[in-house]
Amino acid sequence: MISKINHIGIAVSSLEDHIPFYRDVLQLEFRGKDEVPEQKVIVAMFQVGEVQIELLEPTSPESPIAKFIEKKGEGIHHIAYQTDAIESDIREFISKNIRMIDEKPRSGAHDSKIAFLHPKSSGRVLTEICQVKEK
């Protein structure tokens, strides 16, 4: 079940160029970096209240983030909602004729499980659901 917004993903060409704005200007809590080889990105996370800002830098020209930046430029890439039951949520979305990019969860940053809904099924907004690893 969806419980909250987990993060807002922002595509950037260079983490080093953008981290100072979020850390030093906005003074958000920097939570660190994590590489997600499967998605060909390095992410930097910042905490603001209960929501995180996720900066995504491509590590390869074949990365979906590199292709996004090439086509649309840097900027908001997706909104991620947190769930505690990603597999059942995916099944429910499919039963409601929601087009999924991922019909099975895959690995995300910080050992989370993630799945994306196709923007054509979610008002032209790339939507992610994520199940965070229990601490």
User: Where are the chain's structural domains?
Assistant: 2-131
> In what helix (H) or strand (E) does residue 95 lie, and over which residues does it extend?
helix 86-95
Q: Which residues pair with 33 in a beta bridge?
A: 44
Inter-residue contact 81 to 4 (CB < 8 Å) = yes
CATH of 2-131, one of 3.40.366.30, 3.20.20.140, 1.10.599.10, 3.10.180.10: 3.10.180.10
pTM: 0.92
Average pLDDT score over the chain: 95
Confidence of residue 17 (pLDDT cuts 50, 70, 90): very high
Q: What is the dihedral of CA 37, 38, 39, 44, to 10 degrees?
A: -40
For 70-95, the pLDDT digits (tens) are: 999 999 999 999 999 999 999 999 99
* pLDDT(135) > 80: no
Confidence of residue 109 (pLDDT cuts 50, 70, 90): confident
